[in-house]
Structure 1
Amino acid sequence: MKRLETIKKIVDSGVVAVIRAESKEQGLKITEAVKNGGIKALEVTMTVPGAIDIIKELAETYKDEDVIIGAGTVLDPETARLCILAGAEYIVSPSLNPETVKLCNRYRIPVMPGIMTVKEAVEALELGVEVCKVFPGNAFGPSIIGAFKGPIPQGNFMPTGGVNLENVKDWIKSGAVAVGTGSDLTKGAKTGDYALVTETAKKFVEAVKAAR
């Protein structure tokens, strides 16, 4: 049941914060700022130095809070297993790797693999994927969700890449169950302005609610 509960939390939240950072310290600061802005689904990417350690620390820190910690940019099952052991509650990948999906299914952990075509979307559904990550979203635009929904109305899609405050409502209204956003959300961190990250997070949450 926990797997379904996690998926429900991600969909209810509507926004997955994609956290990329240049150091563990910065990653932790960004995570706290995003959480303070009301985003409950936090995705720590494997491109962050010490990402596994960050996931482990966050999983422990927020174990009693209504926050879900996930791992992103997971390319293979070996990395997925490390993330799960560290406490990741969901796995996100930029591509569809069947072995990674199978491993996540084995441990009842939600996995959102990246897809770009109807063929990949159908393959993901056949593997038991509940939410497909449309990536990179900016290569298509919001209309791609409707295009996918035509032949695959049963599919759930979450765009990542190019999702910003200007177009987030279009993505939701096109049928996306949630959105993933990174650089547009966390750009304040580049100058140490974590208050801006928190404020931007609040705006994303409000925009998704308004669009729904």
Structure 2
Amino acid sequence: MNAEIKQQIINHKIVSIVRGIPKDSLIPVMDALCRGGIRCVEITLNTPGALQMIQQAKEAYGSRMLVGAGTVMDKPSAVNAVFAGADFILSPVLDLEVIEVCHSYSRVAVPGIMTPTEAQTAWKAGADIIKLFPAASLGTDYVRNLLGPMSELDIMAVGGISADNLTAFLENGVCCFGIGGELVNKKLAAAHDFESITHRARTFVELVQQ
């Protein structure tokens, strides 16, 4: 199961990070993302009611969209996310127990790393995709230099990714992205401005398809 989900994430290239929006905005936001071509959504666990939202999203979308859990910091949180229905698990940090939970339940593990040593440790522990965070702060040269001796890594760039820098990250070896406020943010959700979310989604999808 996890190999298929990993490939879908890499094929679609964009994971929309949904953080801090009200529960009643979730389905309209996902509808807006889906209309814009997004097929992978991450609901962060520091969003109030996140586990219920993950369950709600999976019930509403089934196999039409992948739904992951983000900001997963420890083993209990990972287990809770799995039982809520998360297809993949992302973290801003490297926690080996979280990777073990993903293996136990055939979920895709996407731990966060910043250094080459962390990247190697995560990869040897069986991480499916390496989340480079904060990507924009580190820059595209960092990605190219990291992949020089470690070309086996599948890197997801997260943190500060925008329409202005996405193409440069792709050209330097990134395989996929986690995109937060540039796609969905609390202000747009509160204003029920779902058309803007769809427009932003289309912009990013068109960029990765070029």
Which range, TM-score by smaller chain? over 0.9
**TM superposition score normalised by structure 1:** 0.94
Distance across 1 between alignment mates of 2:132 and 2:190? 26
Unaligned runs of 5+ in 1: none
Residue 32 (structure 1) shift: 2.3
Residue 99 (structure 1) shift: 0.7
Determine the structure 2 residue equivalent to 1:124.
Answer: 122
Residue 30 (structure 1) shift: 2.1
Q: Which amino acid aligns with 1:206?
A: E
Q: Is the 8 A contact 1:24 1:48 kept in 2?
A: no
Unaligned runs of 5+ in 2: none
Distance across 2 between alignment mates of 1:130 and 1:102? 12
Determine the structure 2 residue equivalent to 1:143.
Answer: 141
| Range that drifts further, 80-89 or 21-30 | 21-30
Q: Which amino acid aligns with 1:24?
A: K
Distance across 2 between alignment mates of 1:179 and 1:57? 24
Determine which structure has greater relative contact order: mean sequence separation of CA pairs < 8 Å that are 6+ residues apart, divided by chain length. Answer: 2
Determine the structure 2 residue equivalent to 1:18.
Answer: 17
Question: How far does the alpha carbon of each residue in 1:141-199 deviate from its partner, in whole angstroms, 9 at most, with x for none?
Answer: 12221111011011111111100011111111111010110001114335331100011
| Range that drifts further, 14-23 or 29-38 | 29-38
Residue 135 (structure 1) shift: 0.5
**TM superposition score normalised by structure 2:** 0.95
Matched length? 208
Determine the structure 1 residue equivalent to 2:106.
Answer: 108
Residue 18 (structure 1) shift: 0.4
Matches for 1:1-212 after TM superposition, within 5 Å: 2-65=1-64, 67-187=65-185, 188-210=188-210
Q: Is the 8 A contact 1:157 1:177 kept in 2?
A: yes
Q: Is the 8 A contact 2:21 2:189 kept in 1?
A: no
Distance across 2 between alignment mates of 1:189 and 1:199? 14
Residue 29 (structure 1) shift: 2.8
Alignment RMSD: 1.2
Secondary structure of 1:71's aligned partner: strand
Q: Is the 8 A contact 1:80 1:91 kept in 2?
A: yes
